[in-house]
C-alpha cells in the first residue's frame, strides 16, 4: 500500500507522515485503513483503495449484466435490470475517493450545529481519487457499545436509548431536511464517542450516498404522514410517485379506502 500512496500523493508515507502503521486497522472489499500521524502529531486515518480493485469491479459488473437476462426469468418479481444498474452506479461511485471526501464535508456542514453527531474532518490536501486522509476518531464500535449497555443496567439503557434517538434524528434530517442520505449504514460505519451530555454518534465512510430533490423530500414527508395516519389511498399514490411499480393485486389492497 505504500507504493499506492506514493503514486497517488507524490511521496512515500515516510515523507508524508511522522508515523504510518503498515498493518491496517480496518479492511473491506474496496479499501483498507491505516493509522498514521501528521508531522504536527495529529492522528489520522489513511484509507487506501486496494490495487486492481477497479478492474475487478468492472469484471464483476460485466458478468452481472450478462447474467441479467437469465435472472430476469428466474426472479420475475424483481426488476433485475434496475438492480444491476443501481449496483453498478453505487459501486463505481464508491471508487471515487475525491467525491467521498466532498460528501463528508457536506455532511459536516449540515450537522455542524448538532453536538451529538460527529463527522471526521477531511485533510483535503492529502486526499486523491484513491486515498483519503481523515481525522482519526477514538471511539467504540456501535455494536460493541450497545452490547456493553446491556451490562450496565438502567444507565446503560439510558445511553442506548439516547443513541437510538440520535440515530433516528440523524437519518430523518438526512432524508427530510438535507436531502443527502448516508446509504451504507451498517454497524461498522458508526462509532460511539464520549460527550459531556452522554454518548455521541460518529458517522464514517461517505462513499455511498443518495441525494434527494426538494420535491422528493416532500413526497417522503407525505408518505410518512400517510403511514402514521393510516391513510391508505395517499399512501399508495405517494409510493407510485417514487417510481415504485407493484403487482395489481398488491396495489388494490394498499389503495383501497380504509374501513370505517
Residues serving a catalytic function are: 184
Residue in 213, 237, 243, 244 with CA at minimum distance from that of residue 223: 237
* Cell numbers that stand for 44 in this block: 489520522
Give the residue ranges of DSSP H helices in 129-179: 142-149, 153-172
CB proximity list for 192: less than 8 A, separation 6 or greater: 139, 140, 141, 142, 145, 163, 199, 200, 201, 202
* Displacement of CA 244 from its chain's centroid (Å): 23
- Residue whose C-alpha cell is 503514486: 7
- Residue whose C-alpha cell is 460527550: 195
Amino acid at each position: 500500500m505504500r507504493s499506492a500512496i506514493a503514486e497517488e500523493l507524490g511521496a512515500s508515507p515516510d515523507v508524508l507522515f511522522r508515523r504510518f502503521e503498515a498493518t491496517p486497522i480496518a479492511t473491506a472489499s474496496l479499501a483498507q485503513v491505516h493509522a498514521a500521524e501528521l508531522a504536527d502529531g495529529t492522528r489520522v486515518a489513511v484509507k487506501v483503495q486496494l490495487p486492481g480493485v477497479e478492474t475487478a469491479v468492472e469484471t464483476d459488473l460485466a458478468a452481472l449484466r450478462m447474467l441479467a437476462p437469465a435472472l430476469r426469468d428466474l426472479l420475475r418479481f424483481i426488476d433485475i435490470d434496475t438492480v444491476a444498474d443501481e449496483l453498478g452506479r453505487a459501486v463505481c461511485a464508491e471508487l471515487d475517493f475525491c467525491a467521498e471526501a466532498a460528501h463528508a464535508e457536506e455532511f459536516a456542514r449540515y450537522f455542524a450545529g448538532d453536538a451529538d453527531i460527529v463527522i471526521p474532518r477531511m485533510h483535503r490536501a492529502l486526499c486523491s481519487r484513491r486515498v483519503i486522509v481523515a481525522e482519526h476518531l477514538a471511539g467504540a464500535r456501535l455494536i460493541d457499545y450497545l452490547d456493553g449497555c446491556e451490562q450496565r443496567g438502567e444507565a446503560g439503557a439510558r445511553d442506548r436509548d439516547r443513541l437510538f434517538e440520535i440515530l433516528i434524528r440523524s437519518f430523518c434530517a438526512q432524508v427530510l431536511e438535507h436531502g443527502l442520505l448516508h446509504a451504507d449504514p451498517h454497524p461498522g460505519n458508526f462509532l460511539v464517542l464520549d460527550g459531556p451530555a452522554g454518548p455521541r454518534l460518529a458517522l464514517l465512510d461517505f462513499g455511498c450516498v443518495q441525494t434527494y430533490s426538494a420535491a422528493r423530500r416532500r413526497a417522503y414527508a407525505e408518505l410518512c404522514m400517510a403511514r402514521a395516519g393510516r391513510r391508505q389511498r395517499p399512501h399508495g399514490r405517494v409510493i407510485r410517485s417514487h417510481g415504485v411499480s407493484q403487482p395489481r393485486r398488491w396495489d388494490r389492497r394498499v389503495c383501497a379506502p380504509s374501513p370505517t
